[in-house]
Amino acid sequence: MAVVVSSSGNAPAFKAKMTVYVFVCVVIAAFGGLIFGYDIGISANVNDFKGGVTAMDDFLKKFFPSVWEKKQHVHENNYCKYDNQFLQLFTSSLYLAALVASFLASAVCSKLGRKPTMQFASIFFLIGVGLTAGAVNIVMLIIGRILLGFGVGFGNQAVPLFLSEIAPAQLRGGLNIVFQLMVTIGIFIANLVNYFTATVHPNGWRIALGGAAIPAVILLFGSLIICETPTSLIERNKNEEGKKALRKIRGVDDINEEYESIVNACEIASQVKDPYRKLLKPASRPPFIIGMLLQLFQQFTGINAIMFYAPVLFQTVGFGSDAALLSAVITGVINVLSTFVGIYLVDRTGRRFLLLQSSVHMLICQLIIGIILAKDLGTTGTLGKPQALVVVIFVCVYVMGFAWSWGPLGWLIPSETFPLETRSAGFAVAVSCNMFFTFVIAQAFLSMLCGMRSGIFFFFSAWIIVMGLFAMFFIPETKGVPIDEMRERVWKPHWFWKRYMLAEDDHQDVEKRT
């Protein structure tokens, strides 16, 4: 089966078909996203709310006995849940490890290719899963967690880049978002696994942690049949192989134009010896600043905080002991299904429309939730059922908006906007920023909630206004633009960013003259 890709958007694109082979490559690579999502869901960043392994008594008694002890005696209210920074740090060690690993992964990605980087990711995952699921002491557990973090660092570095490079320009957005789709599926599966293994004593937590081995094995063996991206092959002087790979994934004979464009990009890239130094040059500023800010914005939408808080809200509505399951199923399914909306729309309406629409959409949700909680929920009081129901509905509507915008686009835009010479390095900075801000929110959320109470929703609302305005003025449309043509077609014509491009051109002129 091969569907001809029609040229749409604001730029003529190269000839390509949507081939079955590309589809298979996309799905296999995106398993990296599934493992990331599973890791987010399984340990529960905010241990009290989500019932991940860190909320399981067997697990706490074995590895964190003093935490378990204390937890039995604390008095909680609606905003101040038991908060243990040490336990939180254990969960977050994955993000810290991933933060560091993404730089290493970037070097592997450039020197050896996207495919081996994914293979390394799956090996890190497998060892990490073995150590955490089989842990007999805390050292094993933490080393395992760090290795899982390395897996996330390598996977999140290689997979979005891989997807953006093998996708035909007109379908790049949708195919890249398959990564986020798998993240949401991973979170969803992990929440279900958490729920069911919580009642398995004493080793339910081992089953939960061990589950990640399945997608890791799929990624490892699957990565044997996928191809390397033509860009990465040509960048490493394997031009003939690159041409063959390009012909195979595009499903058409006439790939010369795209091939030339890649060769051109590789020539420019080969003159850059230090990509990190190049990142600091004016011409790199647009994708660099946008790539970093997108990560800050993605996390400061408050998504993880809200998703972790959701079970408490569901409980308040009156679902009792089923709250955790119901919340996992309802928010999980909404998260997954709404990501399909993103896949469908991103190459039709474009990236900007989704970012702007969802900023208004998510702002309204946050404000309504904040106002209801501020008005009706005292410090220890409970919400009335109707109010709680409205809150739950708006939590779901909010998750929907995130799932088709800031969630996937936080990964897509940085993976498609850097020129080849800084693509891997620039994306590594973006990945590590994502990990850093995820860490910050995970570490601070419970204390913030306790200190700010319903104000936390207004705090996130303020951020949503900032990011909406930023998107409006500074994030250009990249729909349909070939990945190696961003400079000419996106940055040079942009009302603000063009100044850095012109500065660079002037600089090069002066260099040539002297």
**Which positions lie near ligand BGC, rule CB under 6 A?**
40, 180, 183-184, 187, 298, 303-304, 335, 407, 410, 434, 438
Read off the tokens for 132: 């955490």
Q: Is there a contact between 305 and 271 (Cβ–Cβ < 8 Å)?
A: no
What residues contact 289, with CB distance under 8 A and at least 6 apart?
none
| Residue 401 CB, nearest approach to ligand BGC (Å) | 12
- Which lies closer to ligand BGC via its Cβ, residue 131 or residue 328? 328
- Which lies closer to ligand BGC via its Cβ, residue 40 or residue 99? 40
What residues contact 71, with CB distance under 8 A and at least 6 apart?
60, 82, 84
User: Could you give the CA distance from residue 504 to residue 419 in angstroms, rounded to a whole number?
Assistant: 14
- Which lies closer to ligand BGC via its Cβ, residue 284 or residue 438? 438
Q: What is the three-class DSSP state of 219? A: helix
| Residue 400 CB, nearest approach to ligand BGC (Å) | 11
User: Could you give the CA distance from residue 484 to residue 471 in angstroms, rounded to a whole number?
Assistant: 22
Read off the tokens for 117: 């980087």
- Which lies closer to ligand BGC via its Cβ, residue 183 or residue 234? 183
| Residue 183 CB, nearest approach to ligand BGC (Å) | 5
Between the alpha carbon of residue 223 and those of residues 71, 120, 157, 159, 178, the distances in Å are: 44, 10, 15, 11, 16
AA letter at 453: R
- Which lies closer to ligand BGC via its Cβ, residue 43 or residue 180? 180
- Which lies closer to ligand BGC via its Cβ, residue 307 or residue 372? 307
E strands, 267-338, are: none
Phi, psi at 493, each rounded to 5°: -80, -5
AA letter at 461: S
Let me know the angle formed at the C-alpha of 484 by 478 and 486, rounded to the nearest 5 degrees: 35
Cis status of the peptide bond prior to 202, with omega within 30 of 0 = yes
| Residue 307 CB, nearest approach to ligand BGC (Å) | 7
AA letter at 299: Q
- Which lies closer to ligand BGC via its Cβ, residue 246 or residue 303? 303
- Which lies closer to ligand BGC via its Cβ, residue 175 or residue 233? 175
For ligand BGC, which residue has the nearest CB?
Answer: 407
| Residue 11 CB, nearest approach to ligand BGC (Å) | 27
Q: What is the CA radius of gyration of the chain?
A: 23
| Residue 410 CB, nearest approach to ligand BGC (Å) | 6
Read off the tokens for 364: 């309204």
| Residue 406 CB, nearest approach to ligand BGC (Å) | 8
| Residue 34 CB, nearest approach to ligand BGC (Å) | 12
